[in-house]
A and B are shown apart, each in its own frame.
Chain A
Amino acid sequence: EDKVVQSPLSLVVHEGDTVTLNCSYEVTNFRSLLWYKQEKKAPTFLFMLTSSGIEKKSGRLSSILDKKELFSILNITATQTGDSAVYLCAVVRGINDYKLSFGAGTTVTVRA
């Protein structure tokens, strides 16, 4: 069975802090790892990582994948209150199987 484990489960920071979220996985036929941000309802896509060691950046967010050690990190720098959300990690495996297997998420609360 696929395993996707996120840590920490939750954290509280102040505006301007940097946060690092972790996602480790054990899946057969790993294909890609995705990060989503879930505020009130639907998860919204942040990053997709397929190759090891290549950092993806979008503004203050960045993410990298380590396929040897089977984990990914998501960094948020200069956090703002609008970054408060649940951050979900999900993996895709296989060639014809595109279902997402999600971790439990990390709840980030950014205080002003």
Chain B
Amino acid sequence: EPEVTQTPSHQVTQMGQEVILRCVPISNHLYFYWYRQILGQKVEFLVSFYNNEISEKSEIFDDQFSVERPDGSNFTLKIRSTKLEDSAMYFCASKGSGGGSYNEQFFGPGTRLTVL
């Protein structure tokens, strides 16, 4: 069964460093998302991406964040200068086109980011 994959599973970094979280969405999906979940809190939307551009972003997704689909298979989230409060589990999700109806989003296993 196709699945969303993410690497690394755990990333530890120093405050102020740049990190890139990688995701490989399901191959025929067209919509891509990043969510994060701070320990003990709810899953929060960060950004959605369709047709090679951001379609929506949340208030959390400030200038320190960027997304890219560099090669048609990977979907990356970059945090330029990490802060302690960026420590969270980051989930990538993808969704098919659905032909006008909504299809469910499939989530990857997540990357746990720890900022020291």
Contact = CB atoms under 8 A, between A and B. Distances in A.
Interface of A: 31-32, 34, 36, 41-45, 48, 50, 88, 90, 92, 96-105
Given A99-B45, A102-B44, A105-B42, A45 B104 contact: yes
A98 B95 contact: yes
Interface in B42-79: 42-45, 48, 55-56, 58
A99 B104 contact: no
Choose among A43, A97, A101, A104 the residue with the greatest number of B CB atoms under 10 Å from its CB: A43
A96 B49 CA distance: 11
A44 B13 CA distance: 28
Contact of A98 (B42, B91, B105, B110): B105
Interface size class of B (residues with CB under 8 A): 20 to 34
Contacts of A43: 43, 91, 107
A96 B55 contact: yes
B31 A98 contact: yes
B89 A41 contact: yes
A9 B44 CA distance: 17
Nearest to B91: A42
A98 B48 contact: yes
Given A98-B48, A99-B33, A99-B56, A44 B107 contact: yes
Given A97-B56, A98-B95, A42 B45 contact: no
A41 B110 contact: yes
A102 B89 CA distance: 15
A42 B108 CA distance: 6
Contact of B104 (A48, A88, A96, A101): A48
A100 B94 CA distance: 12
